[in-house]
Each structure stands twice: as C-alpha cells, then as structure tokens.
Structure 1
Amino acid sequence: MASLGDLERSVMDLLWDHPEAATANTLRDALAQADTADGRELAVTTVLTVLARLEKKNLVARERDTRPHRYRAVMSREEHTVDLMNEALGNVMDREAVLARFIGGISGDEAATLRRLLESPAPGRSATEQPEQSA
C-alpha cells in the first residue's frame, strides 16, 4: 500500500469525516475552507487528479452513474491504518524487534489498552486463535 501525499491525505480525511459520496467540486471547496492548499486556490482538475491517484491505490471508489461523478472512501481510516501497520510489519525480518520498539514508545494508557485488547476476543478471531495467557 502506497503512502499518501499531503493533498491525498487531506482528501481522504474529508472523505473519512463525511462518509457520503462527494464530487470533486465539493471536495475542492472543503479543501479551500480548511486552508489545506497552503493559501493557493486548487483547480478542480487538481482534485480530480488526486482522486484518480487514490482510486488507483484502491482507497477511493468513483460512482460513475452520476454526473458529476461522486467519490467515496473504500475503507475506514482505521482499516487503512491497520493495512499500513501490517504492510510495515510484513516488510521487516525481525517483527519482534519492531514491535518492541513500537511498544516502547507508547504511553501507559495506551499500553493498558493494548493489554486489554490482547486479552479480549478479537473480532473475527476464534477462541483457539487467541494469544496464550501467561500464568
């Protein structure tokens, strides 16, 4: 999964925050209101180019049955983050070292949340696949 550029991230944030499908014009106007274009006015063609890139990355779907076309996020922000984390872990030889480094940088509250999540049944994971409890 490819990383997102600043403008791609801004467009995805808009789509994630407003789950109804949006046109390129609507997104351009929202980007201008959010001042994410660094003071420059974005052309609708620029937004369309960004949307085409996001569609190629399988992050956005285009509704072709409407004119103008409407765009929506294919997955939630959380699902995208999970995909990025899985990709990052899949590209390393020593997953344990990466996980240890990651865990070393989280807060006490986040560590408590992680412990609680590891000890509870995960959605889509059977009881036999749960992590072993240490005695």
Structure 2
Amino acid sequence: MTAGDARARRRGQGELEAQVLAALHEATGPVTAAWVQERLGGDLAYTTVMTILSRLLAKQAVTRERAGRSFVWSAAADEAALAALRMRRVLDRESDREAVLASFVTGLSPDDERLLRLLLAQATEEPED
C-alpha cells in the first residue's frame, strides 16, 4: 500500500463517531476537543473532531459545558445506552418496522431470545409514570 492509498482510505462518519465516543468513555471527566484529538492520533484535524462532537451533540450522544472560552465534552450515556440509541435510529429509518424486528428476533441465539422475552415481560410489569 502506498502513502496515497493510505490517504485515500477515509474513515466513515460512523467509525469516527465510535472512536470519539470510545475516547470520551476512557476519560475520567469532561475533556476538551484537543484531548479527544490527541487520543485519536495526530492524523485527525481538530476541525474534524469538532464536527464529530457537534454531530454527536445533535444526536444527544454527548454533552458539553462551557469551560472558559471553549467547551468540555462528556459521553451522555454508557455504551449500552448508546448502542440502544443506534438500534432505535436504524429501526426508525425503515419503512417496515415489523419485518426488521422479525428479522432481528429470528437471528437471536436462544439465550438472547430468552433474555429479550424476560426484559419485555419486566418492562410491561413496570408502572407508568
């Protein structure tokens, strides 16, 4: 692979978002965009990190708070909650929700299917607020 090939291989938006979220999860508290950029390696522009953080903010996957003249960033939820959010977004984009859910359920292992049934039963038992 030549240097030109390496430059031609671009990370997808989803891949960058996952890397940024992983970096935020490693942090012990709110961090700057520069801190995230450093964790992801030197080949990523600061403006790219800011763009990804802004997109994640719009998706409510991260939070930010003012710190002086800039912002510090944190993951809004744990990995499981973020995965669930991504799953809901995929489902929301599909026109045939029933087919998507049916395909998902039929692909589950027996253990995962049992767990899903248990979780659904527990969810229906919880009182409405």
1:122 is aligned to 123
Higher relative contact order (CA 8 A, sep 6+): 1
CA displacement, residues 29-60 of structure 1 (integer Å, 9 cap, x when unaligned): 2112xxxxxxx622323322322232233322
Corresponding residue for 1:89?
91
For residue 70 of structure 1, give the secondary structure of its aligned residue in structure 2: strand
Aligned to 1:16: 25
TM-score w.r.t. structure 2 length? 0.68
- 2:100 aligns to what? 98
**Is the Cα contact below 8 Å between 1:19 and 1:73 reproduced in 2?**
no
Question: What is the TM-score normalised by the length of structure 1?
Answer: 0.65
If each structure's helix is expressed as a fraction of its own residues, which one has the higher value?
2
The unaligned stretches of length 5 or more in structure 1 are 33-39, 128-135
How many positions carry a matched residue from both structures?
116
Amino-acid identity (%): 36
In angstroms, what is the RMSD of aligned CA positions? 2.9
Change (3 A) 1:118 1:9: same
Map 1:1-135 to 2 at 5 A. Answer: 5-18=14-27, 20-32=29-41, 41-66=43-68, 68-119=70-121, 121-122=122-123, 125-126=126-127
Structure 1 runs of 4+ aligned residues shifted over 6 Å read none
